[in-house]
Chain A
Amino acid sequence: MNFDFSDDQQQLRDAVQKWVARSYSFDKRRAAVKAGGLDRAAYAELAELGLTGLYVPEALGGMGMGPMEAMVVMEELGRGMVLEPLLQTLVASGVIHGYAPEAVQADWLPRIASGEALVVLAHHERAARWHLDRCTTTAQNAGGWTLTGTKSVVPGGDRADAYLVPAMAGGQMALFLVERGAAGVTATGYVTQDGSRAGELTMADAPATLLTTDGLTALEHAVDIGIAATCAEGVGAMEFTMALTADYMNTRKQFGVPIASFQALRHRMADMKMQLELARSMSYYASLKLNAPTAERRQAMARAKYQLGVSMRFVGQNSVQLHGGIGVTDEYVGSHYFKKLTQMEMVFGDTLHHLGEVSARMQDQAGVFA
């Protein structure tokens, strides 16, 4: 039992932190949002740092790292509120490496690691909400797989290069890879509440590559990689939000004194600190459990995402309240962190959904680690 970061992990954190400080100013981010919410040039810089290959084996051009390194990176990207979807890259590379045939791995993983190919998870459907097993997109195999159906709120939207798509093949869910440029594929794009890009993906007999016929297992794993990464990203964003709020409270004066001197506000801050540290503890827990056996992993992710959801909402809302009027303006960076925190609560299953998951998975066991 040990919670120290290794020197290598610390160096990785420093490198990402430095990149954010040097290359990802709030003004630059604002311009990227205006230009559609995903800047492939900035994504290429993440690739130059090697981050797109974090989960790709070294033999295939990546860094072959694990969940704790991913956590460190995502904390820093969350702190910098980086729009470019490295999280999706972690999901795609993790799932392709874990489930796809070797030839597919050899084809895609080097391109993912180099940043040439941005692959994202396209699994939402209008009627499915957070239920991973509900899927109406269908797959046909007549001399090669083709998919028909629509996926919604797909991260990256029309600026991604390929999509991981669950579809029903016969009675069973399988997982496919569909390229944006393939025949029968239409991808649109729009900006979401946090400024990042998403879109709608329509497939009409679109050619697809089969990754695995055990689609639900792979999809659950994909979502869990996403949950662990979101938790870490949330911790980084909350940390920044807290620092911003503390700074503001020590600067802003009312009644002739800094508002940081008022006990009602100080206690609010103490409660935010509690939520941050509970969230950080559960983010560690999520990443430490990401390679656990399936049932244990799923239970851990539900617990973690529930805590993060509670914490992100509390820290976000109260940060706005402690700022007063400036906190609800578009001009101020804080409101953008609030929107980011809000959106993170609503990806990969919201807080009520995961409470239901925890509740359904509760078992009698002596000790929560048993």
Chain B
Amino acid sequence: MDLAFTPEQQRFRETIRAWVGESLPTDIAHKVNHHLHLSREDMQRWAKILGKKGWLGHAWPTAFGGPGWDAVERHLFEEECALAGAPRVVPFGPVMVAPVIMAFGTPEQQKRFLPGIASGEVWWSQGYSEPGSGSDLASLKTRAERQGDKYIVNGQKTWTTLGQYGDWIFCLVRTDNSGKPQTGISFLLIDMKSPGVQVRPIIMLDGGHEVNEVWFDNVEVPAENLVGEENKGWTYAKYLLAHERTNIADVNRAKRELERLKQVARQEGVWDDTRFRDEIAKLEVEVVALEMMVLRVLSAETSGKSSLDIAGLLKIRGSEVQQRYTELMMLAGGPYALPFMREAMQAGWQGDFPGGATGLAPMAAAYFNVRKTTIYGGSNEVQRNIVAQTVLG
């Protein structure tokens, strides 16, 4: 056992650090570090910079143009990006749909879709959840009926993150009602500019427009956009979930935000209040423990020597930690976390904020925003079912 990274890994980290240092636009890092609003253009600008370097799909195999990094190198890359204040890569294209297309798509689909994902040109959205299908995703009802060389899609998806920017959406659709719910689902790629697709905003409790409803009204989808076999979509969806591994814990961002929390606590005068500082101390231990768990999973993945049953714990803990640091930041803000002025979350805003405490404007918003993390990606209660299964059978 060894906690230290090898000299090669250290050099790798330094290379990444240097590159991120000169490539990450400072205005974007400023927004990330201060929890200010990121526009579509901000997110895509960074995606394209990564894409140009060949690192947007940094977990892709070399056969598809990926850099061929191992699990530790991927972690170091993600860590350097996070610590520098890079926005999180919007995962739906490069992290989610791309591996499915690589594993189950036709060579034509790979040729058609992967380059746009790798470059950051094409924005993908995810069409999974429906109003009646959350944790019980397999009960989904959006229908796709085969008519000749196309599917006719009818139904509604919801909680579609950043779907207002989407060019394409990958959807789980029902193609068969006869058997078990899981066996009648297909994986379909849909052009969001198709007639009959409508995106309606859902405004969240923090006032932000981050998620959407996506409606399909007799949308025609060419049959060639079916990934893999009809009625096998559930298998592909599970493959996709398995692909989201350690990154889901988001521990690198937690490390950055922990330091930010300490700054805010100092600035707001609660650092010297031992009751408050002890809460930060608890969080610090939580972050170290989470990082150690992530490293254990990475080590097992890299060496292949031991299999670990703890990957499922990472989502639970990572999301809880995220909620905790935003909660403490809001509390550190005290009364100045209360004014609800979304315009103060735009970079460069020159207006008057109560008490002049402009930096505290996003604190409550961030707290409210991340309530989602224990709900999405398989709610933490569903995750506990999975963890319990590993212990109790």
Complexed CA–CA distance, A188 and B35 (Å): 62
Secondary structure of the B side of the interface? helix
Asked if residues A356 and B1 are in contact (CB atoms below 8 Å), the reply is: no
Indicate whether A323 reaches chain B with its CB closer than 8 angstroms.
no
Q: Which of B3-11, B21-29, B369-377 contacts A (4 or more CB under 8 A)?
A: B3-11
Indicate whether A193 reaches chain B with its CB closer than 8 angstroms.
no
Indicate whether B280 reaches chain A with its CB closer than 8 angstroms.
yes
Note all chain B residues with C-beta closer than 8 A to A356. 274, 278
Q: Which of A142-150, A212-220, A263-271 contacts B (4 or more CB under 8 A)?
A: A263-271
* 12 A–B contacts, CB within 8 A, in A order: A3-B1, A273-B313, A273-B387, A273-B388, A277-B310, A278-B293, A282-B289, A288-B3, A358-B281, A362-B262, A366-B256, A367-B79
Chain B interface (Cβ < 8 Å from any Cβ of A)? 1-6, 9, 72, 79, 83, 255-256, 258-259, 262-263, 274, 277-278, 280-282, 284-285, 287-293, 295-296, 298-300, 302-303, 305-306, 310, 313, 316-317, 381, 383-385, 387-388, 390-393
Shortest C-beta distance, A282 to chain B (Å), equals: 5
Note all chain A residues with C-beta closer than 8 A to B295. 1, 3
Indicate whether A284 reaches chain B with its CB closer than 8 angstroms.
yes
Q: Contact check: which of A246, A365, A369 meets B391 at CB < 8 Å?
A: A246
Tally of A-B residue pairs with Cβ under 8 A? 139
Note all chain A residues with C-beta closer than 8 A to B298. 1
Most A CB within 10 A of own CB, among B5, B259, B292: B292
Shortest C-beta distance, B287 to chain A (Å), equals: 6
Closest to B3 in A: A288
Asked if residues B388 and A303 are in contact (CB atoms below 8 Å), the reply is: no
**Chain A interface, number of residues (Cβ within 8 angstroms):** 43
Note all chain A residues with C-beta closer than 8 A to B1. 2-5, 68, 284, 287-288
Note all chain B residues with C-beta closer than 8 A to A273. 313, 387-388, 390-391
Chain A interface (Cβ < 8 Å from any Cβ of B)? 1-5, 68, 242, 246, 249-250, 260, 263, 266-267, 269-274, 277-278, 281-282, 284-285, 287-289, 303, 306-307, 355-356, 358-359, 362, 364-369
Q: Contact check: which of A266, A289, A367 meets B385 at CB < 8 Å?
A: A266
Note all chain A residues with C-beta closer than 8 A to B391. 242, 246, 269-270, 272-273
Q: Contact check: which of A4, A281, A364, A365 meets B292 at CB < 8 Å?
A: A281
Q: Other than A270-B387, A273-B387, A368-B284, give 6 A-B pairs with Cβ distance below 8 A.
A: A5-B1, A250-B392, A266-B385, A306-B281, A355-B278, A367-B83
Most B CB within 10 A of own CB, among A1, A260, A278, A306: A1
Note all chain B residues with C-beta closer than 8 A to A367. 79, 83, 255
Asked if residues B9 and A358 are in contact (CB atoms below 8 Å), the reply is: no
Closest to B277 in A: A359
Secondary structure of the A side of the interface? helix
Closest to B271 in A: A362
| Closest CB pairs A-B (n = 7) | A281-B292, A266-B388, A359-B281, A270-B384, A270-B387, A3-B299, A358-B281
Closest to A305 in B: B285
Note all chain B residues with C-beta closer than 8 A to A307. 285, 289
Closest to B389 in A: A266
Complexed CA–CA distance, A242 and B296 (Å): 20
Given the contacts A3-B300, A288-B2, A359 and B291 also touching, CB distance less than 8 Å = no
Shortest C-beta distance, A337 to chain B (Å), equals: 16
Shortest C-beta distance, A303 to chain B (Å), equals: 5
Given the contacts A1-B295, A273-B391, A364 and B262 also touching, CB distance less than 8 Å = yes
Complexed CA–CA distance, A258 and B336 (Å): 52
Asked if residues A358 and B285 are in contact (CB atoms below 8 Å), the reply is: yes
Asked if residues B387 and A274 are in contact (CB atoms below 8 Å), the reply is: yes
Complexed CA–CA distance, A369 and B5 (Å): 11
Given the contacts A267-B381, A267-B384, A277 and B293 also touching, CB distance less than 8 Å = yes
Note all chain B residues with C-beta closer than 8 A to A260. 392-393
Asked if residues A366 and B293 are in contact (CB atoms below 8 Å), the reply is: no
Shortest C-beta distance, B87 to chain A (Å), equals: 18
Note all chain A residues with C-beta closer than 8 A to B9. 1
Asked if residues A278 and B299 are in contact (CB atoms below 8 Å), the reply is: no
Asked if residues A362 and B280 are in contact (CB atoms below 8 Å), the reply is: yes
Complexed CA–CA distance, A1 and B289 (Å): 15
Q: Contact check: which of B256, B262, B263, B296 meets A281 at CB < 8 Å?
A: B296
Asked if residues B282 and A355 are in contact (CB atoms below 8 Å), the reply is: yes
Shortest C-beta distance, A264 to chain B (Å), equals: 11
Most B CB within 10 A of own CB, among A2, A271, A281, A284: A2
